[in-house]
Amino acid sequence: MDQHIVFFDIDGTLLDQHKKLPASAKEAIKQLQANGHEAAIATGRAPFMFKNLREELGIDTYVSYNGQYVVLNGEVIYKNPLDQKALESLTKKALENEHPVVFMDAEDMKANVPEHDFITESISTLKIDQYPSHDPDYISRELYQSLLFCVKGEERPYIDEFKEFDFIRWHRVSVDILPAGGSKAEGIEKVIEHLGTPTERQVAFGDALNDLEMLKQIEHSFAMGNGMDQVKHTAKYITTRVDEDGIYNGLKQLNLI
């Protein structure tokens, strides 16, 4: 059998707008695995933010933090932490501008301020159990992503000054801070290097801007029906919405289930 590997984004791809996993998506992934194919996750989320989902789906290979922390069959195979000195400078500037920052490693996330409405608003949309407590010293750890909290347009001075980072807006009041050049595509490449899966047996599903590099790189790329226009223009195929059996229909289209 020609084993394929299929990478699934989480928010807007596996999970619907209510952060629920459709029954058809779960059924499709179980059938995919039963057919001998590999299911993996490629997400901007931290590992601790989707532990329950991994366990529910029986997935132990994942690209997290948009490619900065990669695990294959339960073993860490790649880490790409943020530049600490540059992050310290950015955080100092952010404090002056009253823009909170959240620091994230593989186990937890901590905020540099005791509380802020922007942190509450954005983190609550993820519908996860964790919430960042106050610990400004957490910046000294090996961090793979940080969150800058500001409204659209206010991130521009940081983009201009800190070339060590890429900035991706994921919420009205929050922007991901990532190592420059890091992407899901780069993390996926680390998995492929270990597995040796040929190009024609690589598949990916996504819906948002942080999926673009992944969808450009993967031979069989799917944009969700609820995905952004730019994503639909980039992917090879367009499936139905996440809440309209998008995962099931996409895998069916490739005869993987």
Active site amino acids = 9
- In angstroms, the CA 237 to CA 219 distance is 10
- Share of the chain residues as helix, strand and coil, in percent rounded to the nearest 5: 40, 25, 40
**Which residues have CB under 8 Å from 114's CB, separation 6+?**
134
Q: Cα torsion at 227, 232, 234, 236 (round to 10°)?
A: 110
Which has the closest alpha carbon to 143: 171, 111, 119, 117?
111
DSSP 3-state assignment of 221?
strand
Report CA 20 to chain centroid distance, whole Å. 16
What are the distances in angstroms from CA 123 to CA 36, 102, 183, 253?
36, 10, 22, 35
Q: Is the dihedral of CA 114, 50, 152, 241 positive or negative?
A: negative
What are the distances in angstroms from CA 19 to CA 11, 16, 52, 102?
7, 5, 12, 22
